[in-house]
Amino acid sequence: MQRLTTTLLAALALTCAAATATAQVPGTKLPGGTTVPDISGIWERIEGIRFNPSGGLPPYNAEYRRRYDEAMAARNRGERVADPTSRCLPQGMPRFMVASYPLEILQTRGQVTLIAEWSSQVRRIFTDGRRHPPADEVDITFNGHSIGRWEGQTLVVDTIGIRGDTSFDASPLTHSDQMTVSERLFLKDAGTLVDEITVTDPGAFTAPWKVTRTYRKGGPDARIMEYVCEENNREIFLPGQNEDRE
């Protein structure tokens, strides 16, 4: 009988843990007595669209530093340096988090969804307890595959499967296809969201690159506008004009 009771209690505990993992809407009780904070709403990036607000470069290895210097030299000569977003391609992660215009965050069961106004992009962070697909199977995409879990009041997110041909911002800050991104999202106060972003890239960096971004909660009039990049993009290819494009 005691064994049966123990088994039942263990089963109950597992059920509760599963419920906690999947029902992560704001207010859901978490282990330790805390509840899932409400990070939903419209958030406006504070510090501009440069990925690193302080302006420092990533800890590039020699090869990627050389690539950066060459691209900057070309730009300073007046040459046009390719930025895929000029052809309306997505920023990709982690530039998604510094794209122009606000982000909207939705919290639903098992998922935190980020909607970027720029080109109406959607990024899904799975909080249902799933794991990443195997590294050699995961689809390689602009925003990658993100899984998250609440640690206290912080949403800890890990992202893999990110394309190697995007950049960190409109400057020629590139990375390799070995890049992964981890994030710690938390409310500094009710109106301030912080994303501590750590970029790891054994192919391009000599150490992880940590950048902290801050977002301000949109006011009552805040709204997400439509943005269709392809609507009237005159940045097009012409014979003899596209040598410097991707």
Residue ranges that bind other proteins, judged by CB under 8 A = 48-50, 55, 72, 75-76, 78-81, 83, 85-86, 88, 99-101, 117-118, 169-172, 225, 227-229, 231-236, 238, 241
Q: With respect to other proteins, which residue has the nearer C-beta, 25 or 222? A: 222
Q: What secondary structure letter does DSSP report for 58?
A: P
Q: Least separation, in Å, of the C-beta of 227 and other proteins?
A: 5
Write the CA distances from 178 to 170, 173, 174, 208, integer angstroms. Answer: 21, 15, 12, 12
How many angstroms separate the CA atoms of 153 and 88, rounded? Answer: 36
At residue 155, φ and ψ (nearest 5 deg) are -90, 115
Torsion of CA 88, 101, 53, 60, to 10 degrees: -20
Q: How far apart are CB 28 and other proteins at their closest, in Å?
A: 34
Nearer Cβ to other proteins (75/124):
75
Closest distance between other proteins and the C-beta of residue 71, in Å? 8
Q: Which is nearer to other proteins, 51 or 150 (CB)?
A: 51
| SS3 of the chain: helix, strand, coil, percent, to 5 | 20, 30, 50
What minimum distance in Å lies between the beta carbon of 154 and other proteins? 28
Q: Which is nearer to other proteins, 100 or 111 (CB)?
A: 100
Q: Which residue has the tokens 């309306």?
A: 88
Among left, alpha and beta (phi > 0; psi -120 to 50; other), residue 91 is: alpha
Buried b or exposed e, range 144-156, using 16+ CB within 10 angstroms: bbbbbbbeeebbb
For other proteins, the closer of residues 82 and 187 by Cβ is 82
| Contact by Cβ (8 Å): 126, 146 | yes
Please state the closest distance from residue 143 (CB atom) to other proteins, in A: 16
Q: How far is the CB of 65 from other proteins (least distance, A)?
A: 14
131 or 234: CB nearest other proteins: 234
Distances (CA, A) of 149 to 23, 39, 111, 173, 186: 11, 14, 10, 29, 12
Nearer to other proteins, 156 or 229 (CB): 229
Name the minimum Å distance from CB 147 to other proteins. 28
How far apart CA 225 and CA 1 sit, in angstroms, is 62
